[in-house]
A and B are shown apart, each in its own frame.
Chain A
Amino acid sequence: MVDERLTRASASHSRFARKFADLLSRWAFMVPAAVLLLAVLAYPIFYTIEISFSRFDLATFSAVEWVGWENYAHVLDDYRFWESMKVTVVYLVFALPLQIVLGFGIAFLINAEWRGRNVVRALFIIPMVVAPVVAGGLWRMILDPLWGMVNYVLGLVGLGPLDWFGDPTLAMAALIIIDTWRWTPFVILTATAALLALPRDVFEAAEIDGANWWSKLWSITLPLLVPIIAATFVVRWLGAVKMFDIALAATYGGPGGATNVINLFIYEEAFRSLRFAESAAMAVIILVVTMVLTALFLRGSRLLEERY
């Protein structure tokens, strides 16, 4: 009798312990990432928000006086901020879909089973590795109307020369081309990995059912790929919003601000003009806008995932 009660107690105790251990093991997956990010990011984000509402003292690199929304008012009053926002939207609207479609398209192309597949896949990642300054400058060199290869070839067939960096529309096109050249490889890399991981038996079953290439792609491959396409889009979106290095190296934000993307403007305000408070105010605005849009995209991708 006593024994029995004891075992029951220890059983409930161990059940509790097991439940606790289970919860712990669940959380153990999430905790490292969360703690690391919290430790490294918490203060910088707090600092940025603080100085965006303050007068900034360069002698101590800290906030000295609460000024409320003044820095924000300055920023919102500056036509350059709004122009940069417009430029950024144009760049994103063209560059993102282009890169996703091109990336998955090329991934489908090279995914056939052949010997050179690995080499081609490895070669595709090089554009990402080249330092932005070098990449930007290289494209400047290639597209230059005087000594550039592209205009020389265009000239041979009687076209051009195109003033790629002197015309606002062409400069934006050049920026999108360079960015697409640099980051489509990321999409290709992820897409090929996703294609490799697809379960083979489903396709074999479909083949037996006599499904053709197109219907396999449309009704099997794409739905299986939805989570990864959505994830790739979100990652690329978060990267593209922050792009400024290529603009700095290739177009200098010109001609006359036509490619001055918002992060280039923030960078110049902070590192060239040493206006850290205004720059922080812009950073906070961008943070909020990006958060809202990202949340929308995540919602959208969750809906897509549920549908398929």
Chain B
Amino acid sequence: MSAIAQNVTHKRKSRLGARLRISAGVIACFLFLFPLIWMVLTSFKEQRDIFTMPPTLFFTPTLESYVTYLQRPDIWKRLVNTVIVAVGSGVLSIVAGAMAGYALARIRLRGAGTIGLLIVLSRGVPPIALAVPMFLVARKLGLTDKHITLILAYCTFLIPYVMWLMRGFFLSLPRELEESAMIDGCSRFGAFFKIIVPISLPGLLSTMIFSMILAWEELLFALVLTNRNASTIPVAIQGIAGDTINGANWAALTAVGTITVLPVIVFAMLVQKWLVQGLADGATKG
């Protein structure tokens, strides 16, 4: 057998393997999506048709829940607030957290390890214990019901995550990268922003998506720290779920749930594209 023939069979085999792998991945994806398909189906149902026995798959769809809730001005306002808060805290935490993570992974700095450890350990405080005192401070400073308050509150739990995840990503980078850059005359900041950030883009982006999602669906702080002006979508959802007069309206809950998911999906799709491009750039440079 010639080397070429061997190579061909090897390739064919690996192509089959890849196909198997991909189909297994798609099946897993479908399993994860099933409850969401159910969510979208439910959102098009009349309330009467939701809890039928046995469950109904075929029904006359109605847009009523969407129409009703998209007409409510508070839903739009809360959606905008959620975007502001998620983007604000996502960006702030990725900048501060990634720099701290880099310091932990790559910069020799006495005491930094201890500080990093303390930052991670600060995540051990149950959030329930933090919400009330944070409100008391915000009230004293006249900062209740403001976006910035919520953004700062979210940063307290996002920064430790970002820092620790990014530390992991930075550790797996070859050390020669920034050494050569710094020999070339780059400053520490220059090396970080020009070399390290572009090549760590996949990690940075996935971490930022994760942070934004955490901020997007956070409920407890939003409930305690806001009243009206900075109130977010999860608070509205909690309100619909806690209807003590008529019972939870599941058509509305799933409709608002679907509406809340959409912007994140669109955002993730856009970023994914960018992510692969960024990687290609990084790869050619490296």
Q: Report which A residues bind B (CB closer than 8 A).
A: 22, 25-30, 32-34, 36-37, 40-41, 43-45, 47-48, 61, 106, 108-110, 112-114, 116, 118-135, 137-139, 141-142, 146-149, 152, 181, 184-186, 189-190, 192-194, 196-200, 213, 224-225, 227-228, 230-232, 234-235, 238-239, 241-242, 244-245, 249, 263, 266-267, 270-271, 276, 279-280, 282-284, 286-291, 294-295, 298, 305
Contact = CB atoms under 8 A, between A and B. Distances in A.
Contact of B55 (A119, A134, A148): A148
A-B pairs, 9 with minimum CB distance: A231-B168, A290-B124, A283-B129, A109-B25, A110-B25, A29-B103, A33-B100, A47-B133, A193-B206
B169 A184 contact: no
Contact of A125 (B125, B168, B264, B276): B264
Contacts of B59: none
Contacts of B28: 106, 109-110
Given A30-B115, A123-B33, A142-B38, A133 B253 contact: yes
Contacts of A149: 38, 55
B109 interface: yes
A152 to B, nearest CB: 5
Nearest to B241: A133
B107 A29 contact: yes
Contact of B272 (A121, A194, A249, A290): A121
A197 B200 contact: yes
Contact of A227 (B24, B171, B206, B268): B171
A26 B103 contact: yes
14 contacts: A29-B103, A32-B96, A41-B122, A106-B25, A110-B29, A124-B32, A131-B237, A132-B217, A138-B254, A146-B51, A148-B55, A271-B128, A283-B125, A286-B126
A33 B272 contact: no
B219 interface: yes
Interface residues of B, number: 114
B63 interface: no
A11 B134 CA distance: 50
Given A112-B18, A131-B234, A181-B35, A190 B241 contact: no
A189 B128 contact: no
A193 B107 CA distance: 23
Interface string B12-33: 0010011001101110110011
A194 B207 CA distance: 11
- Of listed A194, A231, A245, A291, residue having the most chain B CB within 10 A: A231
